[in-house]
Amino acid sequence: MRINQVLSIIISVVFCSLMQNAKACSSCGSSATSPLVLNPDENLKMYFGISENLNFMDYGAKGADSTEQIPNQKITSRRTLTLAIGYRTTENSFVTLTGSGVQNQGPIDRGFPEMGMADKQYLMGDPILAGRYNLVNMDITNTYRPQVQLAMSYKPSLAKNMVDNEPSAIKTVGNGFHQVTAGVDFWFGMSAVQFGAAQFVTYSFDRQPNNAGRTCCGKESSTTTQVKRTRDLQYTTVLTVGYIFKEHNISIQSGAILDYIGEEKITNQNNNDGTQSYIVKKPAQSNSLFANVKYKSSDKDTWRLSYTLGGAYEGDLGVFTNSSQTTSDSIAFSYERTIF
């Protein structure tokens, strides 16, 4: 599920490729977590996407139970433009670079709704450098042989965020952490009915922001400095199923994304006597459902329309029950062009 840190913004589209002659598709099992993947016969590929996030909901807002859903009062919508390029490095591996521009919309003053809404100019999102390696390739002679991929990515903290910059959510788009993600992806894609699963683990590097006047979560203080911020591991599970209409060059996919972000600890230091205090944010969990339709207008051109329902299931899902989290729905449209 997408998180308010916008790491997830880039993650709202489903990406699985359909080849007219039943060639293997790359990383369909990881679907919505990867903005661009390369198929076996693609060496250089470009991606352009636009998405809109709506219906922002907070779980565990101040004064509420961690699983209670309350409309987010800070952001009403978020628009994202995403550009990505992918290059095949070997027969079984490729790398991608993804960048984005993000525009938030929210009330000028939450205390005075009559003042209207404010659009923040487009801000640069955190870039993502990713790579994938095929451990096992699908075989056209064996329908039940899956593709198995290893995936890894790095996201530096370059975007404006509430750790380093503005205390206002509408003026920020990043989560403030340098992050490395690794995972494994399984995809059964040789028959008309396709399915897959992926598991990712994200490590967040400790931060020493040394921000005078900042405490946590957009709050300001005249007496303390935020000196350290740590976050435990994040686990993301993606389950995908799809169907190919080969005669029409159309494919459909749907599935679920389960996300768990570990505990976050903020260390604040008193500017006068040097004593330290701590704020601990509970683990954040969410689940979402996604669906998309993809059409190959030619061997080199692919169009995709997708929709993601954030915080889809309100019941008890254990560690994936919606709690201490901000979720949103999204609709996305994308175009991919294979250069060669």
Give the pLDDT confidence of 281-294 residue by residue, as tens digits: 889 898 999 998 99
Could you give the CA distance from residue 280 to residue 1 in angstroms, rounded to a whole number? 22
1: in domain: no
The number of domains in the chain is 1
**pLDDT of res. 109:** 64
Q: Which of 2, 8, 4, 50 is nearest to 306 (CA)?
A: 50
**pLDDT of res. 156:** 94
316: in domain: yes
203: in domain: yes
**pLDDT of res. 10:** 31
**pLDDT of res. 69:** 79
Could you give the CA distance from residue 13 to residue 332 in angstroms, rounded to a whole number? 6
Are 255 and 243 in contact, with CB atoms under 8 Å apart? no
**pLDDT of res. 272:** 86
The whole model's pTM is what?
Answer: 0.85
**pLDDT of res. 76:** 87
100: in domain: yes
Could you give the CA distance from residue 86 to residue 37 in angstroms, rounded to a whole number? 7
201: in domain: yes
Each residue's pLDDT tens digit, 111-138: 655 566 666 768 899 999 999 999 998 8
- The residue range of the domain holding 16 is 7-338
What is the domain-level CATH number for residue 128? 2.40.160.40
**Which residue ranges of the chain lie beneath pLDDT 50?**
1-32
Could you give the CA distance from residue 37 to residue 149 in angstroms, rounded to a whole number? 11
Q: Which residue has the tokens 């709690």?
A: 323
Rounded-to-10 torsion of CA 75, 285, 287, 207: 60
**pLDDT of res. 223:** 81
2: in domain: no
**pLDDT of res. 172:** 81
